[in-house]
Structure 1
Amino acid sequence: MADLLWDDVKCFFDPDLMGALPDVRVPGASVEDWQAILDLVAERGWECQYSEGETEVPLPRAEVVLSRAADAEWPSLRVRPAAEFLAIFRFHADDEVDFDVDLRELQGQERLDVFCDFLRAIGRRLGKPVLMDPEGDCGHPVLGFDVEADQVVLLAEPLVT
């Protein structure tokens, strides 16, 4: 059974309302949590590409990425957990895992289920909530993985469009 039903949450996947690239995050994270994400990507065999600036390089350990010099090229990890679904992890800080998804790739129940599976995999691995906020509105999650419920749940009332 689906965690969420498309008809109940489609407003939260409207790029005009939420911004095309909502912020997805795991607050209260650690370097070990970042490494657990990198290990999860490898274990699941998800297609990925790690870059520093515009240069693709082999994926280092999390502590190496997070301890880079302040003037180093900005790192990102592009992960495809499914065809036509891209998550871009940004290594802004060691105490919060953060990544972007493109809502235009997440339309309809099938794509919503793929997204929920991805959040659930991360949340279960870390034992922490995974929250989705509107683009640029961090701190106001609309949905996320709830550790106790062991599923993705609504965290805000759906918007009337």
Structure 2
Amino acid sequence: MADLLWDDVSCFFDPDLMGTLPDLRVPDASVEDWQVVLDRVVAKRWRWQYSEGETVLPLPRAETVLSRPADAERPCLRVWPTSDVLAIFRFLDDEVIDFDVDLRELQGQEQLDVFCGFLRDIGRHLGKPVLMDPQGGGARPVLGFDVEAEQVVLLAEPLVT
């Protein structure tokens, strides 16, 4: 059974309401949690590309990425759980795992199921919530992986469009 049904949550995937790139985060994270995510990407055999600025590099250890000087080229990890769904991890902070998805890629039940599966996989392996906020919304999650429920759940009332 699907975590969420498209007809119930489609408003949260409307780029005009949520912004094209909503903010996804795992709060109260650590360098070790970041490493769990990197190890998961490899274990799941998701397609990925790590870069610093415009230079594509092998995937480093989390502690290496997160200890880079503030003025260094910005690191970025692109992960494709499927060929048509992309998550972009930013490495902005070792205490929050942050990433974006493009809502234009997440239209319909099939892509929603992929997205929920991705959040569920990360959340289960970390044992932590994975939350989605509107783009630039700052800590107002609308949905996320709930550790106790072991699924992605609504955290806000659906918007009326």
How high is the TM-score relative to the length of structure 2?
0.99
Q: CA deviation at 1:141?
A: 0.2
Matching residue of 2:145: 145
* SS of residue paired to 2:91: strand
Structure 1: stretches of 5+ with no match in the other structure = none
The aligned amino acid for 1:65 is V
- Secondary structure of 1:113's counterpart equals helix
Matched AA of 1:47: R
Query: How many angstroms apart in 2 are the aligned matches of 1:102 and 1:26?
Result: 18
1:89 alignment partner in structure 2: 89
Aligned Cα RMSD in Å?
0.4
Mapping of residues 62-101 of structure 1, within 5 Å = 62-101=62-101
**Aligned equivalents of 2:121 and 2:27: distance in 1?**
16
- Code of the aligned partner of 2:32: E
- Between the aligned partners of 2:2 and 2:70, the Cα distance in structure 1 is 42
Q: 3-state SS of the aligned residue for 2:4?
A: coil
How far apart, in 1, do the equivalents of 2:14 and 2:5 lie?
15
Q: Percent identity?
A: 76
- Who is 1:20 aligned against? 20
Deviating runs (4+, > 3 A) in structure 1?
A: none
2:131 equivalent in structure 1: 131
**CA distances 1:134-153 after superposition (whole Å, capped 9, x unpaired):** 00002100000000000000
Aligned length, in residue pairs: 161
Aligned partner of 2:41 in structure 1 is: 41
How far apart are 1:65 and its partner, in Å?
0.1
User: Could you tell me how far apart the structure 2 residues matched to 1:108 and 1:144 are?
Assistant: 18
Quote the offset at 1:106 in angstroms. 0.3
- TM-score, length of structure 1 as denominator length: 0.99
